[in-house]
Amino acid sequence: MKIVRKTGIAAGAAALVVFGVPGPAAAMSGGTPVTDPQAARWVATLAIPGDAPLLQRAGCGGALVAPDRVLTAAHCVDRTDPSRTEVHIGARVLSADPGEVRGVRGIAELPGYRLLPSPAGPDEPGLDSARRDLAVVLLDRPVTDIAPMRIAVHRPVAGAPVQFFAHGTTGIAGPDAFRNDVLHRGDLTVLDRAGCHDATPAAIDDRSVWCSADTTTAAVTGCYQDSGSPAVQTIAGLPELVGVFSFGGETAGRSCGEPSPLYFADPTAFRTWIHQPLLPAQPYPASRPTVTGSATGGGLVHCTAPSWDLRRGLPPVTIAYQWVTVTVIGPFVIPEPIEGATGRDFTVDTASAGLSLACQVTAGNAGGYSAVLSDPVITTL
């Protein structure tokens, strides 16, 4: 048995809403705390449900763009479990203010979204960039007391000032790194196409991505848990959404906090899709996969796919199975795929004895992919 350990953007994308872990790109370093409780109330935070403080459960960011929908990065919700996700609107201080809490009635990824392997390291997921990295999270109840963010008609031009709003780690490397409890604002300047391409060897899809940087102090960067967070431009005195954080300096091998441009998915190019009344939604699980059989050495275990809630998602077109080992860290459940274990059945051997084993079912359709994890079983000799 060989466990495949994932890192970087792909690992984050596979983990977020199934288990509440953040997506690929990173979290803001630098910036200024937002102290006004009435400011930027349209900022959203995706989290796993639970009793722990939101500060411990939060993952990606997003922006309320209509009373019933939040826009985030597709990599934050791709191959995750929408039934184990909640959305907090206007939670400025994560440890003290949960904001307006909503469940998820569906998730739709922008058609054409995909991760782009880096020419500098096509087999290194941590260097991946993304194209059309947008998704709409449909809320189970509308938010009526917070004004949604308007999406701008055009993307910002080179040289224009924009503001980035996010929670996330401070960018400090090592064990002293911690998440920004208070919402932060970072002031950035939009770069031209050459500046975006010169800063990373990653593939840049110019039609759906633009970038900006802190050209004054270089202190504001992006890091883990800022994925999906909004970039805003003031137009005619009003804030308008111009970007959704997709990736950053990790695509050039930089650590959190090292100076780097921030790369944003461009929502202005997809306003019609974002606001269409009926969005195709990824499969929505109505139950969990089940594991049956003998989990002792030499025994055979079998995975049965969950049922699907057809009110909240389209039926699956594809279904895939992956056996994983599971590690629990606080409120997070971290799966590690077992190489080659992609059938509905798995034979327990001596190498897998004593491990926490689970079956992950990934289902896809026109709305994207969701992944659902079974309850783990403990294997024995």
Query: What average pLDDT does the structure give for the chain?
Result: 89
Burial string for 151-179 (b: 16+ CB within 10 Å, else e) reads bbeebbeeeeebbbbbbbbbbeeeeebeb
pLDDT tier, 367 (very low <50, low <70, confident <90, very high otherwise)? very high
Of 257 and 308, which is predicted with more confidence? 308
What pLDDT is stored for residue 94 in this prediction? 93
Query: Could you give the residue range(s) of every CATH 2.60.40 domain in the chain?
Result: 290-378
What pLDDT is stored for residue 12 in this prediction? 37
Say whether pLDDT at 16 is over 90: no
Query: 132-165 pLDDT, tens per residue?
Result: 999 999 999 999 999 999 999 999 999 999 999 9
Query: Could you give the residue range(s) of every CATH 2.40.10.10 domain in the chain?
Result: 8-275
Q: What is the DSSP string of 117-144?
A: -BTTBTT-GGG-EEES--EEEEESS---
pLDDT tier, 29 (very low <50, low <70, confident <90, very high otherwise)? low
Q: Where are the alpha helices (DSSP H) in 220-347?
A: 271-275
Name the phi and psi angles at 257, rounded to 5. 95, -20
Cα of 372 vs its chain's centroid, Å: 16
Question: What gap in Å lies between CA 74 and CA 92, rounded to an integer?
Answer: 23
Question: What gap in Å lies between CA 199 and CA 248, rounded to an integer?
Answer: 10
Whole-prediction pTM value?
Answer: 0.91
Average pLDDT over residues 271-279: 96
The structure tokens listed for 259 are 């100076």
Question: What gap in Å lies between CA 264 and CA 360, rounded to an integer?
Answer: 30
Say whether pLDDT at 171 is over 70: no
Choose among 200, 240, 246: nearest CA to 226: 246
> CATH topology for 8-275?
Thrombin, subunit H (2.40.10)
What pLDDT is stored for residue 26 in this prediction? 39
What pLDDT is stored for residue 176 in this prediction? 53
CB distance 138 to 104 below 8 Å: yes
Average pLDDT over residues 355-369: 96
Domain 290-378 belongs to what architecture?
Sandwich (2.60)
What pLDDT is stored for residue 353 in this prediction? 76
Query: 221-233 pLDDT, tens per residue?
Result: 888 789 999 999 9
Half-sphere exposure of 240 (CA within 13 A, CB side): 18
pLDDT tier, 298 (very low <50, low <70, confident <90, very high otherwise)? confident
Query: 299-338 pLDDT, tens per residue?
Result: 899 999 999 999 999 999 999 999 999 998 877 888 999 9
